Amino acid sequence: MNWTLRLLTAAFLTLAPVRVDAADLDGLRKMAEDGDAAAQYQLGEILATGEGAPQNFVAALQWLGMAAEQKEPRALYRVAAMMHEGEGMQRNMVQAGAMFQSAQKGLLELAQKGDLDAASKLGTLHTTGVLGKPDLEEGLKWIRQAAEKDWAKAQYDLAGHLLFGRGISPDKNKAMQWMTRSAKGGHPQAQFGLGAAFANAEGMRRDLKAAKEWLLKASRTGDPKLAGHAKQLLARGEAGDLRELPDVKVLAESAAKGVADAQYRLGAIHRDGVGMAQDYKKAAEFYEQAAKQGHALASYGLGGLLVGGLGVEKDAKAAYKWWLAAANRGLAVAQLDLGILLVKGEGAEKDNAEGYKWLTLAARAEEPRVKQRAIQVRDNLSRVMKGTDIIDGLRRARKFEPIKQADK
């Protein structure tokens, strides 16, 4: 997993940086000492992030604890988040969950009054599932509301949802737009993520000058782990130790000559936004060119775009057709997804025996993730199937002979 994805994956319960100068910090400390719960929370947040004062989890928890005792909902949330992640204290998921529950009502009241920090935190409560089952629609409503009003932490979280397609259609271009806004707003993780994207050409052209600019900003954060990651990537950039990018011009020339593998690779480059802006429509065009020549991976990629309605009109029937083509060529991940379609009756008539056949074939995959998922789905399916249908599915799997992959 690349650096941008690693940081985004771990970021949803992280801290929102609060920057203050020395005079403001002294004033905030005096208010906190006088018992002001909001000031105690702000001071604790500053000490926890290391933005505006040296990072100190112990001192942060002292101030946050005082605010939490006064039922300050943002402080309750922050102490719960630190307990959830084991930051400055022993990890305790059960107690953290109870504190998140305690914070919810107060966060909602503050968010409804226009508090962007509370809205961002409330959104995270819903999207992460720390309250129970995740409610992505409700969570994204609050995160987007705060992001659109320039709360940098919410902008960073929204970028993560767009990048991973959590509760929203994946869109790397929009993700990078929100990442940029967050980085410009001073969020260190967004600054690192943007610097890493420029360095690794993720959804954009490689720009080492811009990468250095943003990574230097991230390296000055009070978070030692994040600063270390930024310095490490800066050193790799200086040493020229970055991933090699594909030669798109050479691939395009081969694709124009009808070389299926070049067409597939161009489709993947446009789908993932490697060294360029992400473009699902072009990805679908190149995938289809290769798929029509019998390229299994291209057929599978095209089916995925059709299922998600990415760059093309959503069409489960067409997706079934292309996944069937890939599955018949022995591609295990296509066999898995085809089996699931048949079991659900999406894109084709529901057929448990045929679905069982494809899941059985996928269960023989060398890739552990595909193998485990196929076994799990097949085992769940077998609990509701007739014995005769299971035997029929196994018989069909034994008779399967893959079609030879196209050479072009």
Whether residue 334 sits in one domain with residue 278: yes
Same domain as 173, residue 279? no
pLDDT of res. 6 = 45
262: in domain: yes
Give the pLDDT confidence score for residue 48 in this predicted structure.
Answer: 87
Distances from the Cα of 143 to the Cα of 111, 115, 126, 189, 307, angstroms: 11, 12, 10, 17, 27
Residues 226 and 348 in one domain: no
Decide: residue 38, CB within 10 A, 0-12 exposed, 13-18 middle, 19+ buried.
middle
In a domain, 222, yes or no: yes
| 215 and 269 belong to one structural domain | no
Whether residue 24 is contained in a domain is answered as: no
Q: Quote the CA–CA distance of 41 and 44 in Å, as a whole number.
A: 5
Residue 217 placed within a domain: yes
**Would 101 be classed as within a structural domain?**
no
Residue 226 lies in a domain: yes
Q: What is the pLDDT of residue 280?
A: 96
Answer yes or no: are the C-beta atoms of 177 and 283 closer than 8 Å: no
Residues 289 and 369 in one domain: yes
Is residue 325 domain-shared with residue 220, that is, in the same domain? no
Q: What is the mean pLDDT of each run of 10 residues along the chain (408 residues)?
A: 46 52 78 96 89 84 96 96 91 94 97 97 94 94 98 97 93 96 95 95 92 95 89 92 90 97 97 93 98 97 96 97 98 98 96 97 96 96 94 97 73
> What is the span of the domain harbouring residue 300?
248-399
Q: Look at the chain and report how many structural domains it folds into.
A: 2
Q: Are 275 and 255 in contact (CB under 8 A)?
A: no
CATH of the domain at 325: 1.25.40.10
Got the DSSP string for 144-161?
Answer: HHHHHTT-HHHHHHHHHH
Cβ-Cβ contacts under 8 Å for 173 (sequence gap 6 or more):
203, 273, 277, 278
Which runs of consecutive H residues, i.e. helices, occur in 16-151? 22-33, 37-49, 57-69, 73-85, 93-112, 116-128, 136-148
Same-domain status, 346 and 270: yes
pLDDT score, position 223: 83
Q: Are residues 347 and 257 in the same domain?
A: yes
Residues 221 and 363 in one domain: no
Looking at the fold, whether 195 and 332 belong to one and the same domain comes out as: no
378, 348: one domain: yes
Distance CA 379, CA 391 (A): 14
Residue 57 lies in a domain: no
Give the residue from 220, 243, 266 where a domain finishes.
243
Place of tokens 């129970």: 132
Helices (H), strands (E): how many in the chain?
22, 0
Structure-block tokens of residue 188: 């260190």
User: Last residue of some domain: 214, 243, 272?
Assistant: 243
Q: Give the residue carrying structure tokens 């395009």.
A: 252
Is residue 324 included in any domain, yes or no? yes
The whole-angstrom separation of Cα 158 and Cα 139 is 10
277 contacts: CB under 8 Å, gap ≥ 6:
172, 173, 203, 204
Among the candidates 212, 228, 243, a domain finishes at: 243
Same domain, 257 and 379: yes
What does pTM read for this prediction? 0.79
Question: Residue 175 is encoded by which pair of tokens?
Answer: 């993700």
What's the pLDDT at 21? 58
Q: Distance of CA 37 to CAs 19, 50, 64, 65, 117, Å? A: 18, 20, 9, 10, 15
